[in-house]
A and B are shown apart, each in its own frame.
Chain A
Amino acid sequence: MEGGGAGGRERRGRGAMKRVLPVLAVFAVLVGLGLFLDRHLNRPTPPPTPEELLALKKKHEELNLRIRNAIVASGEKNLGKAPPAGILLGIPESFTRSIVQQVVTGLFRETTLTLRNIRVHKTGGVKVKMLLRKKQVGEFVLDVLVHEARGTLRPGEPHIEYRKEGIKLALPVALAEGEGRARIGFKWDSKGLAANMVCGDLDTVEEVAGKVVPEQYHAEGIFGLSTDGTAITLKPDFGELAVRLFVDPSDQAWGVVDRVVSEQRAACREVLEKVDIKKILGGLLGKGFNIKIPKKIFKPIRLPAGVSQSLDLQGVRLDLAVRTTALVVSDDRLWYGAELHATKKPLDASSGPGPRSGEPARARETPAP
């Protein structure tokens, strides 16, 4: 039974093999045919010829020229004439002009000139003809103490001109408005008996007000170009602006002077009118007060575009050594050109030494999607 059983299994195995073999043979033929077809259907297309590539490159050049001409026609003067450099910044004249104009006028618009405790002093004598000869009848002392005179500057429309050496600026500045307060002291010392009988001595002090007289001035200079390697700075080269502040006494002030005289007796008035306090006062204040606006008021203007000295990338800090290669003023742009040299450093110093050349910055594991 056992031997018959084993023989039966062997016969059944051989029978199964006979049935599978043709199927496998058909499958193998199909796979072979499939692979053959796949290989031929997916044969790579032929590469382009060198002539074909050359023609495409030529077309590129033609289109580049067409774009360049169209950009120039739209008003661009020198994008194509930028100086050679690895990294370039071209700041348009209109933008620089806008910055310079707003910074300078903004600064001047708020500038005040304030004089405090300025003293003006005038003495003199009055002589009148008495019988045969002129005789001094008295001496006067006029003291003016300007407590405060304040004027505010008002800039006009600046004229800005691009030059090779920088940006020339001409700025009309008006000392536009202001007020002042002063104390006027008038002393009269009569000389001689007759004069003393007529006038006596006078010592009067009055507080008066006045207005600053508007005047026009003109500041002119140049903002030269400079760079520290990372930014363009416009460095001012302007002279001192000398302003003369004139105070015009108010009607109230003149009224005070008139009152000092008018309050005296007729004979005394006649003497004091010879002094002509108003004329002296007008003469003293009419000279004005000199104020020098220091050249330092024109501050360097750092233009808002520059080259960075470092970059942080994927856990690595790049220190960039910037070497300026060009700083030129052209037709409509201020060009700054530089070459960069990068040095790699680790972003976090505590993480130890950074990757050296050829070493990976880091390896991250991403899970299977």
Chain B
Amino acid sequence: MFLLALGVLPAGTACRIRESTESARAKAQKAFLTKGIAELTELAEKAERGELATSGHIAIGVDETTASTILNASLPQEQIVAGRIRIRIESVTPFFRGNQAALVFKSRVTSEDMPEQFAALELAGALNEITLVEGTLAGRVELAHFRVTSASVGPLAQGLVESLVRGNLGLIQDVIPPFQIPVRLDQLVRVDRFAEGPVEAPGGELPLAAEVAEVLALNTRLWVLIEAKAGPWKAAERAGASVAAVAP
């Protein structure tokens, strides 16, 4: 009896009224806009308090189209989850609005046992933790929501797909490439030695330090503001001397 009840329960949830794609999309849009208003209000208050200084920062801006080009270039990517389903991330659409860097992925789920059956999945995530490591800017995508938009299988199988995806969201996230901004930030400016006739300049280098100060997603553009400092200048001999001092 207990086994019978267990068998009936998923069927029961699968029998629920399934929401239309348009309705789900409108609700997602509302949720995105509502969260955006909260984010923007917080940002506006921060800016009005004078805590959002931008003028001294290097501003790096990427629009949605360019981000889409970069993100989609490494797709599709595939992952076999739990040895049963194959998930293929096919495309991604970035949204940089309302101070939210959101990414919506279109993917297709197929069964390893029945490869002709599929379910189309929409995964939504946010760009998190944009960091500057060795002169390269990169952000991690964190999945937050997903839903089945269409399927070749019935509601029961769709329910099973949803449950499988929900349980493996972390693994699916690993297949999503990190978002890299194709910008290079050097860590020094070097000037070579100059010698001509009676004139000699030994050259040197100007070290640079940079770190991410703020990330803004406004009006279809992602802005990464970098706080950068230059100097002090190191003349070539002095630089050489300091290297010699630390050498064993």
- Residues of A at the B interface (CB closer than 8 Å) are 27, 31, 34-35, 38-39, 42-48, 52-53, 56-57, 59-60, 63-64, 66-67, 70-71, 74-77, 79, 82, 85-92, 94-95, 98-99, 102-103, 105-116, 230-231, 291-294, 296-297, 299, 301-311, 313-314, 316, 318, 320, 332-333, 339-344, 355, 358-369
Contacts and interface: CB of A to CB of B under 8 A. Distances in A.
Given A98-B230, A305-B186, A364-B175, A340 B16 contact: no
A367 B183 contact: no
Please classify the interface of chain A as helix (H, G, I), strand (E, B), loop, or mixed, using the class held by over half of its residues. mixed
Nearest to B65: A86
Interface stretch (B17-25, B113-121, B122-130, B240-248): B17-25
Nearest to A75: B55
B11 to A, nearest CB: 8
A313 B83 contact: no
Given A340-B70, A368-B83, A296 B77 contact: no
Contacts of A82: 59, 61
Interface string B1-31: 1001000100011011101001110110110
B90 to A, nearest CB: 9
B210 to A, nearest CB: 8
B219 interface: yes
Interface in B81-137: 81-84, 86, 88, 97-98, 136
A46 B23 CA distance: 8
Contacts of B235: 106, 109-110
B44 interface: yes
Given A44-B23, A359-B76, A362-B78, A74 B55 contact: yes
A369 B97 CA distance: 35
Contacts of A313: 73-74, 177-178, 180
A297 B15 contact: no
Contacts of B228: 95, 304
A60 B217 CA distance: 12
B151 interface: no
Contact of B183 (A52, A301, A308, A361): A308
B59 A333 contact: yes
Please classify the interface of chain B as helix (H, G, I), strand (E, B), loop, or mixed, using the class held by over half of its residues. mixed
Contacts, number: 303
Q: Among the interface residues A42, A76, A115, A320, which one has the most CB atoms of the partner chain B within 10 A?
A: A76
A311 B182 contact: yes
A103 B30 contact: no
A64 B168 contact: no
B154 interface: no
Contacts of A86: 62-63, 65-66, 69
Closest 3 CB pairs of A and B: A106-B233, A70-B47, A86-B66
B66 A364 contact: no
Contact of A67 (B22, B30, B43, B63): B43
A106 B204 contact: yes
11 contacts: A35-B12, A39-B16, A47-B22, A60-B37, A60-B40, A86-B69, A87-B182, A292-B197, A305-B185, A308-B184, A314-B175
B199 to A, nearest CB: 5
Contacts of A112: 199-201
Given A48-B30, A70-B47, A364 B183 contact: no
B163 to A, nearest CB: 13
Contact of A114 (B97, B177, B181, B198): B198
A92 B180 contact: no
Contacts of B168: 366, 369
